[in-house]
């Protein structure tokens, strides 16, 4: 009935609704102003040895394209792509188990094990990988710590919870009736998976991959600690320039690039899936 949709929304004034949103809007405004300041600085000239800036310039963005930095950007793209691929492969089985286990207890356990790293701070998680990848516990046949391979492992581990949550949401929304129907038509379990479940979970795969790629593109603590200064991604360049060289304008240009790529990918995802960011 028409009432149901309007239930609760009636006799409540839009003005009060806006008043309730106002404090959050104020917080967002501070955030937006900060990002505005970032854009502004990315277009101002850097005066070495000073936090003050000169006039308008495009030098900062031309600096991004210098050969040294282009290499870091290329490394960032490659690491992000590899991270996305490995994370997808490693997350799908866990997500499938999470969505399809008949036991509420197993689901709860998997969820807590998935989420705990999600909420364990970046520093703790990255430090943990420093211990694992260093040679004190296991003698690795190849050097991993402070190498791209080690950074990749850390990034995959960092991205898995996010990917698992997105995939599990997508898989759990597939009606098991389709799978039963396929089975009744003679498909063996893995054919059912291959021909029914996997194709139907495409939206989750697409959005999970884009989110992971976007987040990895601006990853900071993992490459900072596991890369040990030898492997650098774009966010590490931002930090080096801003906090070590005090070149805020130059740093801002890199930050704007990272922001643009991240937001661009998420907007693309919104378009592909025809709805807002998950």
Partner 1 sequence: MTGKAVVALEAVSKAYGATRALDGIDLAVHEGELLSLLGPSGCGKTSTLNIVAGFIEPDAGRVLLDGQDVTRQPAWRRGLGVVFQSYALFPHMSVADNVAFGLRERRMGRREAEARVAEALALVRLPAAGAMRPSHLSGGMQQRVALARALVIRPRVLLLDEPLAALDRKLREEMRAELREIQRAVGITTIFVTHDQHEALGLSDRVAVMNAGRIEQLGTPREVYQRPATGFVADFIGASSALEGRAVDAGTVELAGGQRIAVRLPRPLEPGTRVRLLIRPERVEPGDGGANALPARVASVMFLGDHAEVRLELPGGARVLAVVRGTVVVEPGDRLTVTLPPDAFLEAP
Partner 2 sequence: MIGRLVVLALVLFMTLPTLVVVVASFNPTAILSFPPQGLSLRWYENALTYPQFRRAALNSLIVTAASAALALPIGTAAALALVRYPVRLRGLWNTALLSPLVVPGVAAGLGLLILAARLGLLANRVVLIVAHVVLVLPFVIRSVMVSVANLDPMLERAAASLGARPWRVFRRVTLPLLRPGLFAALLFAVIVSANEFVVSLFVSTRVTEILPVAMFTYVVNYTDPTMAALSTLFVAATFAAVFLADRLLHLSRVFQIEGHR
Query: Scanning residues 3 to 32, which ones bind partner 1 (CB under 8 A)?
Result: 3, 5-6, 10-11
Binder of partner 2 out of 64, 218, 223, 227 (CB under 8 A)? 218
Roughly what angle, to the nearest 10 degrees, separates helices 104-119 and 67-100? 160
Using rule CB under 8 A, residue 1 touches partner 1: yes
Choose the contact partner of 243 out of partner 2, partner 1, none; CB within 5 to 8 A by kind.
Answer: partner 2
Residues 226, 150 contacting (CB under 8 angstroms): yes
Q: Is the dihedral of CA 214, 266, 63, 250 positive or negative?
A: negative
Stretch that binds partner 2, among 33-41, 57-65, 69-77, 141-149 (CB under 8 A): 33-41
Choose the contact partner of 1 out of partner 2, partner 1, none; CB within 5 to 8 A by kind.
Answer: partner 1
Nearest to 152 by CA among 211, 216, 238: 216
Using rule CB under 8 A, residue 212 touches partner 2: no
Q: For residues 197-216, which are near partner 1 according to CB under 8 A?
A: none
Angle at alpha carbon of residue 224, lines to 218 and 226, rounded to 5°: 115
- Distances in Å between the alpha carbon of 240 and those of 29, 84, 233? 28, 26, 11
Using rule CB under 8 A, residue 244 touches partner 1: no
Binder of partner 2 out of 145, 155, 160, 205 (CB under 8 A)? 160
Choose the contact partner of 272 out of partner 2, partner 1, none; CB within 5 to 8 A by kind.
Answer: none
Using rule CB under 8 A, residue 184 touches partner 2: no
Q: Smallest distance, Å, CB 12 to partner 1?
A: 11
Q: For residues 55-74, which are near partner 1 according to CB under 8 A?
A: none
Task: Determine if residue 214 is left, alpha or beta; phi over 0 gives left, psi from -120 to 50 gives alpha, anything else beta.
Answer: alpha
CB-side neighbour CA atoms (13 Å) of 278:
23
Cα gap 113→49, rounded to integer Å:
48
Binder of partner 2 out of 124, 181, 268, 272 (CB under 8 A)? 124
Instruction: Give the number of residues in contact with partner 2, rule: CB under 8 A.
Output: 96
Nearest to 258 by CA among 199, 207, 216: 216
């Amino acid at each position: 009935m028409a009432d149901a949709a309007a239930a609760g929304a009636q006799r409540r004034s839009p003005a009060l609704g806006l008043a309730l949103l106002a404090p959050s809007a104020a917080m967002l405004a501070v955030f937006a102003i900060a990002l505005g300041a970032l854009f502004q600085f990315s277009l101002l000239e850097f005066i070495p040895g000073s936090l003050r800036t000169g006039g308008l310039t495009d030098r900062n963005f031309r600096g991004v394209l210098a050969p040294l930095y282009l290499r870091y950007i290329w490394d960032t793209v490659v690491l992000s792509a590899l991270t996305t691929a490995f994370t997808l492969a490693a997350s799908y089985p866990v997500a499938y188990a999470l969505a399809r286990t008949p036991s509420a207890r197993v689901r709860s356990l998997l969820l807590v094990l998935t989420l705990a790293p999600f909420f364990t701070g970046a520093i703790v998680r990255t430090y943990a990988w420093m211990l694992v990848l260093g040679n004190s516990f296991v003698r690795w046949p190849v050097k991993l710590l402070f190498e791209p391979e080690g950074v990749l492992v850390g990034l995959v581990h960092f991205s898995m919870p996010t990917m698992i949550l997105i995939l599990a949401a997508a898989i759990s929304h597939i009606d098991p009736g389709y799978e039963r129907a396929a089975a009744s038509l003679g498909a063996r379990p893995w054919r059912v998976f291959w021909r029914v479940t996997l194709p139907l979970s495409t939206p989750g795969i697409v959005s999970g991959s884009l989110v992971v790629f976007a987040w990895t593109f601006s990853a900071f603590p993992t490459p900072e600690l596991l890369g040990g200064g030898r492997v650098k991604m774009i966010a590490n360049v931002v930090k080096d320039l801003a906090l070590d060289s005090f070149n805020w304008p130059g740093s801002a240009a890199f930050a704007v690039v990272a922001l643009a790529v991240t937001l661009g990918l998420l907007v693309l995802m919104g378009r592909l899936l025809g709805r807002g960011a998950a």
